Amino acid sequence: MGMSPMPFENDKKVYGTGIRTWHFILPLLRMGHKICVCNYAIPSAYPEDFRSKHVKNFIYRIDSKGEKDFLVSASKLNKEDEENKSDYRGSAAKAEMSDQSDYEFEYNILKKDDFENIELLSEIFSRFKPDCIVGCTFYPSYIASKLSGLQSDKDIAAVPFWADLFGHVMAEAQARAYVDGDDSCLFHYWNSEYNIITSADIFSCVSSRQKYALVGELGAVGRLNRYTAGYDFGVVIPCGISEGEYVHTKNVIRGKHGIKDDDFVVLWTGGYNTWTDVDTLFKGLIYAMEKNPEIKFVSTGGEIPEQDLKTYPYFLSLIDTGPCKDRFIMRGWVPGEDVLNYYLEADTGINIDKDIYEVKLGSKNRILDWFKAGLCVLSSNVCELTDIIEKEKIGYTFKPGDYKDLGEKLIYLAGHRDEITKTAKAGKEYALHNFNFDTTTSMLQKWVEKPSFSPDRGKERKLFFSREEALNNLDQIVLRQRKMIEERDARIQELEGIVEKGFVYKIYTYFKVLKRKISG
C-alpha cells in the first residue's frame, strides 16, 4: 500500500511519497514477486472528477533504447478504463534500466473514501491472498495497520506487516502546528502513529536518526518487552535514486524569461512545505544577487494543498515587495517530463530547511534527483543526507538560518563554475553507487523473500493495554455507525421515492396549496 502518482506516470505533480512507493515496488518486481498495489490517489495530482481505478494487469515497460513506456492490458475491473486507455500510457526521456523489460502487477489507484474503506481493502486482500503486507509511507501504513487489525477475522488470514515510516511524523506534526498556530493536529498524528507502531512487525525509516526516535516510541507503547529483547525492529532505507540517465529534450531556461546563457541559475524544484525556510532563502538570494547580477533564481513547484497552503504564497509576497523581483522566475508546477530539462540547464539545485526535528530526522528526495541529473547540490546542513554531502565533499552546504552564509556560498559558486562541475560529477557517482533502489532496499527484499512476525505478535502487552482495547472498541463503534448511516440514507431515499409517486403525496400537496389560499 502506497501513494500515487508514482514517478513513471509522468504527472504534473509527483511527490516524495509517490517516489518512495515506486522505490519499494520496482526492486520487488525485478525479483519476480507477484504484487497487488493499493495506492492513495493524492487529490492535487489528479483531475477533480477522478474515480478510483482497478487494473488487474498493469504493465510497466522499458524499451531497448532506455526510454520508458508503460501501459495496461485489456483486463480491467472498470469498463470505462478501456475507453480511457490513454490515461495509463505515457513516455519520458529517462531510463530505469538498460534493456527491455516488462513488469506486471495489479494496480488499484484509490480515492480517499475507497482507500479508507477497510471492507473494500479486505475484499482485495482475500482475493489476492498475499504472503505479507508492506505499507509504504505514513498514511498508507496507517490504513494497512487497520487492515492488519482485522486479521483476527476468520476470513482474513494473518500475515506479517512491514510499515514504512517515511520521516518522523510527530516532528512533522510539530512543524505543521507551528505554521498553523494550532496544536490540535498533534492528537490526530499520534493516534495514527500509535496504530502503526503497535501493530507492525518491522519498520523502515529514512535515516539512522529516525530509527532511534522510533525505538523511543516503541518503548513508550510497550513493545520493548521481554519477547522482543535482541530483536531489531528498525531498518534504514534512505531516499533512493533510480538507474539510467536523464536526457535533455527541449530548452526551458536558457534564452527564456530574461535568462542568458552565461547567467548562474539557482534552481528550486518541488513543494514548499512547512519546514522550508523561505525567509533565509529570500534574504540569501537578495544578498547574492545585489553583489552578482548574473545570479538568477528559477523555481518549479509550489504549494502543497494536502499539507501546506501558506509557505509558498508567503514567499511570493516577499518577492513581489522586494528588490530584484525580475530575477525570480517562479514557474509553479510544471509537467514532470519538463522538470528534467530544468535539472540539466541549471547550475545548482538549492535545498533550504529550518533547523527543526522534522528535518533533522528526515531526508530529501529532491537532492537525490539532482544527483542523478549531475546537478550540483547546495543545501542547509540539517539532516543526515546533508551531513554525508559535507563529509564526502559531493556538494556544498551552509548553516541553517544564516542568510549571509547562504549568500556567500552562492557568490562563491557563481565564480567557480569549473569546480562545481567536478563536484556535481562526484555527487552523481557517489549517489548512483550508494543510493540506488536495489542497494537501499536490500533488507526489504530479504524480508519479503521470507516475511516473519515480530516476536511479540499475539502476546499480551501490559503497557497501555487498556488504551489499545479502547481504541479497538472505538474503531468498531465508528464502523457500526457508518453502516447505520448508510442504511438510514438508503431507507430515506427509498421512502422518498414511494411518497413522491403515491396517493398520500398528492393529497399532501393539495392541502398545502389550499392552506396558502386560505391564509392569503
Q: What percent of the chain has pLDDT over 70?
A: 80
Instruction: Tell me the sheet residues that pair with 164.
Output: 204
Report the pLDDT averaged over residues 381-401.
Answer: 96
Report the pLDDT averaged over residues 76-80.
Answer: 41
Report the pLDDT averaged over residues 134-151.
Answer: 88
Note the pLDDT of residue 151.
57
Between 489 and 470, the more confident residue is: 489
Note the pLDDT of residue 10.
64
Report the pLDDT averaged over residues 22-51.
Answer: 94
Note the pLDDT of residue 8.
83
C-alpha–C-alpha distance, residues 442 and 290, integer Å: 48
C-alpha–C-alpha distance, residues 391 and 387, integer Å: 6
Which residues make Cβ contacts (< 8 Å) with residue 34, sequence separation at least 6?
105
Q: Parallel, antiparallel, or unpaired: how do β-strands 36-41 and 101-110 relate?
A: parallel
Task: Place 83 in a pLDDT band, splitting at 50, 70 and 90.
Answer: very low
Note the pLDDT of residue 330.
97
- Mind giving me the DSSP string for 447-478? HHHS----TTTTS---TTHHHHHHHHHHHHHH
Task: Place 82 in a pLDDT band, splitting at 50, 70 and 90.
Answer: very low
For the cut 90, the answer to whether the pLDDT of residue 157 exceeds it is no
Note the pLDDT of residue 100.
61
Cα 449 to chain centroid distance, Å, stands at 25
Report the pLDDT averaged over residues 265-269.
Answer: 97
Note the pLDDT of residue 61.
80
Asked if 165 contacts 210 with a C-beta cutoff of 8 angstroms, the reply is yes
For the cut 50, the answer to whether the pLDDT of residue 259 exceeds it is yes
Asked if 42 contacts 13 with a C-beta cutoff of 8 angstroms, the reply is yes
Query: What would the CATH number be for the domain defined by 118-240+437-460?
Result: 3.40.50.2000
Asked if 441 contacts 24 with a C-beta cutoff of 8 angstroms, the reply is yes
Which of left, alpha, beta for 76 (phi over 0: left; psi -120 to 50: alpha)? beta
For the cut 80, the answer to whether the pLDDT of residue 467 exceeds it is no
Note the pLDDT of residue 44.
85
Note the pLDDT of residue 101.
77
**Least confident segment among 54-63, 364-373, 383-392, 398-407:** 54-63
Note the pLDDT of residue 74.
36
Closest CA to 70 of 93, 22, 102, 39: 102
Task: Place 244 in a pLDDT band, splitting at 50, 70 and 90.
Answer: confident
**Least confident segment among 74-88, 150-164, 213-227, 269-283:** 74-88
**What backbone phi and psi angles, to 5 degrees, belong to 320?**
-65, -30
Note the pLDDT of residue 488.
72
Closest CA to 359 of 237, 187, 213, 183: 213
Helix ranges (DSSP H) in 63-184: 80-83, 112-115, 118-128, 138-149, 169-180
Report the pLDDT averaged over residues 182-202.
Answer: 94
C-alpha–C-alpha distance, residues 274 and 308, integer Å: 6
Helix (H), strand (E) at residue 280: helix 278-291
Report the pLDDT averaged over residues 287-291.
Answer: 97
Which of left, alpha, beta for 431 (phi over 0: left; psi -120 to 50: alpha)? alpha
Task: Place 113 in a pLDDT band, splitting at 50, 70 and 90.
Answer: very high
C-alpha–C-alpha distance, residues 108 and 123, integer Å: 13
Asked if 323 contacts 352 with a C-beta cutoff of 8 angstroms, the reply is no
Query: What class, spelled out in words, does domain 264-435 have in CATH?
Result: alpha beta
Between 47 and 477, the more confident residue is: 47
C-alpha–C-alpha distance, residues 225 and 452, integer Å: 18
Task: Place 243 in a pLDDT band, splitting at 50, 70 and 90.
Answer: confident
Report the pLDDT averaged over residues 172-199.
Answer: 92
The residue type found at 286 is I
Q: Residue 474, Cβ neighbours under 10 Å: how many?
A: 11
Q: What is the pLDDT of residues 407-436, one digit of tens each?
A: 999 999 999 999 999 999 999 999 999 999
Report the chain's mean pLDDT, rounded to a whole number: 85
Note the pLDDT of residue 274.
85
The residue type found at 18 is G
Q: What percent of the chain has pLDDT over 90?
A: 66
For the cut 80, the answer to whether the pLDDT of residue 200 exceeds it is yes
Lookup: cell for 403: 542568510
Note the pLDDT of residue 465.
54
Between 69 and 203, the more confident residue is: 203
CA geometry: angle 300, 305, 309, nearest 5 deg: 80
